[in-house]
Amino acid sequence: MYEQIKAVLFDLDGTVYYGNQMIENADKVVQRFRELGKRVYCMTNNSTKSRQQICTKLEGMGLLFQKEQIYTSGYAAALYAREKGYKSVYVFGTEALKEEFAELGICASEAAEVVVVGYDMEFNYQKLTDALQAALQAKTIIACNKEKHYPGEGAKRMPGCGAMVGALEGSLGRKADYVIGKPNPLLLDVICTQQKLKREEILVVGDTYESDIQMAQEYGCQSIYISESEEKEPGDTKRVSHIKEILEWL
Ligand SMILES: [Mg+2]
């Protein structure tokens, strides 16, 4: 099965782990794909951590990845900003998100043309006030994603980046100009270019229909949808109720 697939792209929250807890047998699924000669990558809309920090987190769960195998909406936002020629950004998000921009030579500034909004668990009114000042001056507002909520520890629903974007949009009275993360297939485009892959050679594995699966389908990748619910019609995607079921096919 999946002979034409060269690379498998795993979503992280709700697919590989919940909070700091690895989902049962996720490591075995990754390992099995590697034994079959597939390249394995991870993607996340979560821009809180840098790619290196995600590697460290995965390593703590016994999953070894290189930084270059991790794709986050924060990294994609920095690549997008570089492509657009922006020299500085105002980051309404974590220090790790600032670092992604700094690594590509884009510095943080209070008076930048662009404001980037990322998920931040230390989000507060003061940070929103500061971001509003920057956003009132800026030409462009970029959101790392607009996810409403995501599965945290014990699958508890946690407010996502959409809450931070919504707070800024609400105080600013206008919408963000561009949304980087899933379901925008920008991340897939970056992966195809950097890893020299064709879209039909990628298999996306994810637990959110509206982001992971729609992105894969829109871009022309194959996909596996992990869901216990029967509500959504999966189209041409395969559905499993738990990631460990994938082992039965490989
Ligand atoms: Mg997920």
For residue 152, what pLDDT is reported?
Answer: 84
pLDDT per position as a tens digit, 83-141: 999 999 999 999 999 999 999 999 999 999 999 999 999 999 999 999 999 999 999 99
Q: What is the rounded CA–CA span in Å between residue 175 and residue 191?
A: 28
| 13 CA → ligand 1 middle, Å | 4
Quick one: 154 exposed, middle or buried, by C-beta within 10 A (0-12, 13-18, 19+)? exposed
pLDDT per position as a tens digit, 128-187: 999 999 999 999 999 999 999 988 888 899 999 999 999 999 999 999 999 999 999 999
Q: Which stretches does DSSP call E strand in 152-198?
A: 157-159, 178-179
| 247 CA → ligand 1 middle, Å | 19
Residues 155 and 217 in one domain: no
Tell me the one-letter amino acid at 196: K
- Residues present in the chain in total: 250
For residue 233, what pLDDT is reported?
Answer: 66
The closest alpha carbon to 76, from 118, 36, 40, belongs to 118
Residues 232 and 174 in one domain: no
Please name the residues in contact with 249: beta carbons below 8 A apart, sequence gap of 6 or more.
1
pLDDT per position as a tens digit, 179-220: 999 999 999 999 999 999 999 999 999 999 989 999 999 999
- Per the domain annotation, does 34 fall within a domain? yes
If one counts the domains in the chain, the total is: 2
Residues 32 and 82 in one domain: no
Residues 147 and 223 in one domain: no
The closest alpha carbon to 75, from 180, 220, 231, 229, belongs to 180
Q: Domain containing 189: what range? A: 7-45+182-249
Residues 175 and 240 in one domain: no
What CATH number did the domain enclosing 235 receive?
A: 3.40.50.1000
| pTM, 2 dp | 0.92
- The phi-psi region of residue 155 (left if phi > 0; otherwise alpha if psi is between -120 and 50; otherwise beta) is left
- Per the domain annotation, does 114 fall within a domain? yes
- Per the domain annotation, does 56 fall within a domain? no
The closest alpha carbon to 46, from 114, 120, 102, 100, belongs to 120
Last residue of a domain, one of 126, 150, 179: 179
| 14 CA → ligand 1 middle, Å | 4
- Per the domain annotation, does 240 fall within a domain? yes
Last residue of a domain, one of 179, 205, 234: 179
Q: What is the CA radius of gyration of the chain?
A: 18
The DSSP code for 201 is G
Contact 140, 85 (CB under 8 A): no
| 150 CA → ligand 1 middle, Å | 7
* Ion ligand 1 contact residues with beta carbon within 5 A: 11, 13-14, 207-208
Q: What is the rounded CA–CA span in Å between residue 77 and residue 83?
A: 10
Any idea which residue has 């879209």 for tokens?
Answer: 199
Of 234 and 30, the one with more pLDDT: 30
Residues 143 and 240 in one domain: no
